[in-house]
Amino acid sequence: MTKMLVAEDLSAVGGISLSAALPVLTAMRYQVAALPTSLLSTHTSGYGRPAIQDLSTWLPAVFDHWMAAKLDFDQALIGYVGSVELVDLLHKYLMAQQVALTVVDPVLGDLGELYSGFDGDYVMAMRRLIQTADVILPNVTEASLLTGLPYAADPDLAVLLPALQKLVKPGAHAIITDVTRDDLIGCAWLADGQVQYSGQPRLPGHYNGTGDTLAAVIAGLLGQGYSLAQAVPLANQWLNAAVAETLAENRDDERQGVALGNLLRAILALQAS
């Protein structure tokens, strides 16, 4: 079994980030090392101020133990980290490891703004971390923050994507995740210098955890040998199915992450084929 390190926040209530990545990657037959980068009572969208446990003294001890126990990983998926110190710690750990495929979702902000608690130093730390990545998955806001280009909701991808590619190592790929085209939402990346786009109809509403789930799906498919051109459209289809299922549930609480039933069935069907 392929061993994947998944490092991101664990929000007890809300069904996003680590809680969403684990079932997705388990269904894809990965052996997952689930490493919370911080512990929260809920995610940060709609429950008021969560109780947060900072793990910056625990995480160095984890890495020391893993080194001593000679534990290593074939792949890594990095999501929300939370502090410059921890981003640098992860960077150092990944540099010392031989990870065949590292996917980084450089979680920094949305809708043109940094998330609260983050500043310019955090963006600089994230620029360092993405140098270890084979694939990065910024949204449009994060792409602008990382490159320093002005934010536009509908950016010039022929400018933004090459600027992102300059921040990652040769051969690595930058995929921008919340790109709108007409009534589609999807992802854009470069292949042979040309802008590629894959999208699905944008369904009404805003959902928590779509980005985390998309990152887990893409990391999982790429690790199984699917090309970007195969993995990204499949991931967009599955996320569309997850949002459609969420809509069909007519939830009375909109804060919970997207429904994963259809997506997990699609994964299992693909694995069986």
Residues that bind ligand ADP (CB under 6 A): 110, 139, 177-178, 185-187, 200, 202-203, 205, 207, 210-211, 214, 236, 239-240, 243
Biggest CA–CA distance in the chain, Å, is 53
Size of the site for Mg ion (CB under 5 A): 2
d(CA 173, CA 78): 15
| Local structure of residue 14 (DSSP, 8 states) | S
Residue with smaller CB distance to ligand ADP, 106 or 223 = 106
Residue with smaller CB distance to ligand ADP, 27 or 185 = 185
Contact partner, 72, from ligand ADP, Mg ion, none, Cβ < 5-8 Å per class: none
Paired with 189 in beta bridges are 196
Residue with smaller CB distance to ligand ADP, 155 or 211 = 211
- Name which of residues 114 to 143 contact Mg ion (CB under 5 A): 139
d(CA 76, CA 7): 8
Residue with smaller CB distance to ligand ADP, 89 or 190 = 190
Contact partner, 198, from Mg ion, ligand ADP, none, Cβ < 5-8 Å per class: none
Residue closest to Mg ion (Cβ): 211
Residue with smaller CB distance to Mg ion, 76 or 97 = 76
Minimum distance, C-beta of residue 67 to ligand ADP, in the bound complex (Å): 32
Instruction: Report yes or no: 256 and 201 within 8 Å, Cβ to Cβ.
Output: no
Decide if residue 211 touches Mg ion (CB under 5 A).
yes
Q: How far is CA 222 from CA 137, 268, 271, in A?
A: 13, 16, 14
Minimum distance, C-beta of residue 109 to Mg ion, in the bound complex (Å): 9
Minimum distance, C-beta of residue 9 to ligand ADP, in the bound complex (Å): 13
For residue 161, the one-letter residue type is L
Decide if residue 186 touches Mg ion (CB under 5 A).
no
Given the rule CB under 5 A, which of 20-28, 123-131, 189-197, 203-211 is the region that contacts Mg ion?
Answer: 203-211
| Local structure of residue 59 (DSSP, 8 states) | H
Residue closest to ligand ADP (Cβ): 211
Q: Please list the alpha-helical segments (H only) found in the chain.
A: 17-27, 58-68, 84-96, 120-129, 140-147, 157-165, 210-223, 228-248, 261-272
Q: With the CA atoms of 211, 214, 220 and 222 taken in that order, what torsion angle do they form, in degrees rounded to the nearest 10?
A: -110
Q: How far is CA 16 from CA 10, 12, 40, 148, in A?
A: 8, 9, 11, 28
Residue with smaller CB distance to ligand ADP, 165 or 210 = 210
Q: Kindly list the residues in this chain that would bind Mg ion in the complex (CB under 5 A).
A: 139, 211
